[in-house]
Amino acid sequence: MSDVDVPESHPRYESLLLRHRIEEGVEAGITSKQGLIAQGRGEAYDYLLGERTIPSADAAERAAAAHLLRADHPVLSVNGNVAALAPEETVELAAATGAALEVNLFNRTEARMERIADHLREHGAEEVLGLAADGRIPGLDHERAKVDADGIGSADVVLVPLEDGDRAEALAEMDTTEIVIDLNPLSRSARTATVPVVDNLIRALPNMTEHARSLAGADEAELDAVVEAFDREAALEAAEAAIRSPEE
């Protein structure tokens, strides 16, 4: 038994554990109530995908790692669900790729921003951006547009896990390569991303870190080849096909 009070042999153990982390995130003031709804949607898609990393998602994770490694100024965007579900995994990916961490919330409050930044620091983060809010994403209303000028505001590659469609679209309009993690291959976020990663955040982040470590010695040409070999349309189609025909 763990602190969730569900036996590890329970067939839905993993899923219940993640649900519990989100509940705890809400209680700690890290995750918003809307985060509970996002979690529910994610669970449904993960169930349909067989709760596994399908081969096209693994290819996307490798391409994402290559993008982050060859970037001049990569940034990982962190929201309340990401902080509750995978703080350590996020910090590890940042360390493996040299990316900055920036808290970026749909429903921004200073208190929640600070709690998430503290939570990331407790899990090993050194610098956490997002609180300066001295930059703007064009095309969004005031609160949702706020970013740090030296973070997402000037990033060449941004990883946005579980981003809402509006913001994903606005970011894509900027001169930024966007990597999105979203279990719904039909979501606007996945559809606007340069690299859509249709996988659970909890599996995607450690797998990206593993790919980043294995690509650490690669030269520019090798990284370019990994990036170019990835076909976003094919990956989205493969994810949809996996949902429709889980046995494949």
Q: Note the residues at the interface with ligand ATP (CB under 6 A).
A: 38-39, 41-42, 45, 85, 162, 164-165, 181-184, 187-189, 200-202
Q: Which is nearer to ligand ATP, 187 or 207 (CB)?
A: 187
Q: How far is the CB of 32 from ligand ATP (least distance, A)?
A: 10
Instruction: Provide the minimum distance between the beta carbon of 234 and ligand ATP in the complex, in angstroms, as a whole number.
Output: 20
* Backbone dihedral region for residue 202 (phi beyond 0: left; psi -120 to 50: alpha; all else: beta): alpha
Count CB neighbours of 110 within 10 A: 9
- Are 171 and 153 in contact by the 8 Å Cβ rule? The answer is no
Distance (Å, whole) CA 114 – CA 120: 10
Residue 158 corresponds to which tokens in the numbers above? 């941004």
Nearer to ligand ATP, 34 or 154 (CB): 34
Between 178 and 182, whose beta carbon lies closer to ligand ATP?
Answer: 182
Select 38 or 152, whichever has its Cβ closest to ligand ATP.
38
Closest approach, Cβ 112 to ligand ATP, in A, equals: 16
| CB of 57 or CB of 223, closer to ligand ATP | 57
Would you give the end-to-end CA distance of the chain in angstroms?
34
Tokens linked to 115: 């709690």
Residue 82 beta carbon to ligand ATP: minimum distance, rounded to whole angstroms: 8
Rounded Cα distance between 30 and 114, Å, is 9
Q: Which is nearer to ligand ATP, 134 or 143 (CB)?
A: 143
Cβ atoms of 76 and 93 closer than 8 Å: yes
Question: Closest distance between ligand ATP and the C-beta of residue 48, in Å?
Answer: 10
- CB 110, min distance to ligand ATP, A: 21
Q: Which DSSP state fits 125?
A: -
Cα 247 to Cα 239: distance, rounded to the nearest angstrom: 13
